């Protein structure tokens, strides 16, 4: 297992961009299952069976989704969104987490993980959404039922004496969506740099990410991102029955608490070398 710790952020990659790898660009659930299940074995099948049992409303939306245009996103498309003026972030400057969070909204689950809405935007529009885009997208009729409408249904179902103000509830909804958006940007930054700067044809699928706890894979190499915080155990990397799991810790010290953590160029270069070595070992 390879542990990579992110270092100081660089504005550019150390080496010239690698040629994008020649690999099929579409990843459906069928493709993902065929490629990832041999790495996970019986444990993966058990995790998938439990998910189907516990979250039946999620099965159709997640398994029916196909990633395609997400692999065409370039690092230059993502980087401007990582450091916008603070007024354009999901949360106002100087805000405190406790001013925004409401536990029941944080814990609310529906048929889809929130980050899937951002992936749907990429597939529909061919670009990474800004925060302004996300706010509008979550209110689109086809996306509204995934989170915003159920959140307001929950609000209206509360006894009147237990309801916070509507403004306070809206802040909690924004907080939850904003956290999903920041997570999405971390993954898009990582994926685009690995593909287009380091020539590694990483694959991803929302079911593999959300259910099987593997963010990306390439052949027999699984890649799992995590932040060093209290949620680490909630997405612990799975044990593989074959191949190798590379854990990437995005631990650089950020200037703002709501900034997007990135892996350094040197860490990504080492990961790329390890994945190529894995491929040689397995062939």
pLDDT, the chain, mean: 83
- What lies within 8 Å, CB to CB, of 222 at 6+ separation is 36, 39, 214, 216, 237, 238, 240, 243, 244, 245, 246
- Alpha-carbon distance values, 174 to 54, 119, 194 (Å): 26, 18, 30
Q: Which two tokens stand for residue 82?
A: 């990582």
Beta bridge partners of 217: 203, 222
Q: Which two tokens stand for residue 213?
A: 């706890």
- The whole-angstrom separation of Cα 283 and Cα 271 is 19
Residue 110: pLDDT band by 50, 70, 90 thresholds?
A: low
| pLDDT score for 27 | 95
**Per-residue pLDDT tens over the stretch 13-47:** 544 444 445 555 799 999 999 999 999 999 999 99
Least confident of 1-15, 48-62, 67-81, 92-106: 1-15
Q: Which residue has the tokens 């099948």?
A: 45
**Per-residue pLDDT tens over the stretch 168-224:** 999 899 989 988 998 999 999 999 999 999 999 999 999 999 899 899 999 999 999
Answer yes or no: is pLDDT of 274 > 90: yes
- What lies within 8 Å, CB to CB, of 116 at 6+ separation is 61, 62, 65, 146, 206, 210
Query: Could you tell me the pTM of the whole model?
Result: 0.86
């Amino acid at each position: 297992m390879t542990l990579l710790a992110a270092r100081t952020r660089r504005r550019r990659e150390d080496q010239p961009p690698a040629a994008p790898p020649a690999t099929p660009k579409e990843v459906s659930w069928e493709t993902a299952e065929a490629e990832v299940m041999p790495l996970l074995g019986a444990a993966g099948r058990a995790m998938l069976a439990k998910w189907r049992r516990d979250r039946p409303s999620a099965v159709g939306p997640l398994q029916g989704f196909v990633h395609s245009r997400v692999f065409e996103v370039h690092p230059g498309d993502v980087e401007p969104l990582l450091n916008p003026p603070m007024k354009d972030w999901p949360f106002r400057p100087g805000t405190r987490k406790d001013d925004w969070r409401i536990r029941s909204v944080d814990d609310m689950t529906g048929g889809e993980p929130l980050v899937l809405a951002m992936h749907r935007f990429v597939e529909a529009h061919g670009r990474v959404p800004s925060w302004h885009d996300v706010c509008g997208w979550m209110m689109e009729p086809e996306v509204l039922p995934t989170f915003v409408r159920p959140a307001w249904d929950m609000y209206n179902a509360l006894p009147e004496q237990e309801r916070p103000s509507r403004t306070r509830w809206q802040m909690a909804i924004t907080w939850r969506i904003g956290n999903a958006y920041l997570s999405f940007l971390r993954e898009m930054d990582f994926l685009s740099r690995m593909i287009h700067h380091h020539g590694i044809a990483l694959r991803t699928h929302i079911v593999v990410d959300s259910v099987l706890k593997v963010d990306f894979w390439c052949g027999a190499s699984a890649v799992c991102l995590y932040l060093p915080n209290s949620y680490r155990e909630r997405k612990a990397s799975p044990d593989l029955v074959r191949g190798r799991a590379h854990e990437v810790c995005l631990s650089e010290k950020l200037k703002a608490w709501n900034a997007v953590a990135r892996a350094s160029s040197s860490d990504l270069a080492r990961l790329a070398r390890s994945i190529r070595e894995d491929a040689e070992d397995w062939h």
